[in-house]
Amino acid sequence: MKEYGEYSAKEQLQLTVCQRLIAEKSYLSQEEIRRDLQLHGFENISQSSVSRLLSLLGVIKIRNAKGQKIYSLNPKLRPAPDAARSVAEMVVSVEHNSEFILIHTVAGYGRAVARILDHHALPEVLGIVASGNIVWVAPRAVKRTALVHKQINYILKMN
């Protein structure tokens, strides 16, 4: 199996988006995953490509609270946090709407990224909440959300 860095940029993006979708939503079928990948810009993705992505990500099926079998990321395959990683390698995406900024990180790096942002003590930031792979940033004033988004991108060296 190839190392993550050996995939093309398109393959890496497909893997990242697929991983994020499965982490955020419950899927009963590969067809549901394929449709969501199409909505995220992979219009021509085939069912066999989705199957390959799931295999590469080590996705498993588990039973949810309703007893349905859903796709899930295998917690045993999540990489252990590596302090030698650059900040940009920890971050999957930084996006915002008119009210807050959401940072998706590689599994296990959310709190580390939040700590980095805390260290910078941006005066425009009201608060930061982090989980294992998501950082939620609330700007002090919603009219400044786009500015805070730019500042965060600069700090995390995303642009």
Give the DSSP letter of residue 80.
Answer: P
Same fold: 4-76 with 87-155: no
**Mean pLDDT computed over every residue of the chain:** 85
Q: What is the pTM of this model?
A: 0.51
Which sequence spans correspond to the domains of the chain? 4-76, 87-155
pLDDT in tens, 58-100: 899 888 777 888 898 876 665 555 555 677 778 888 999 999 9
What's the token pair of residue 60? 């498993």
The CATH number of domain 4-76, selected from 3.10.20.30, 3.40.190.10, 1.10.10.10, 1.10.3210.10: 1.10.10.10
Residue 71, beta-bridge partner list:
61
pLDDT in tens, 116-126: 999 889 999 99
Phi/psi region, residue 115 (left: phi>0; alpha: psi -120 to 50; beta: rest), is alpha
Looking at CATH, the fold of the domain delimited by 87-155 is given as Gyrase A; domain 2 (3.30.1360)
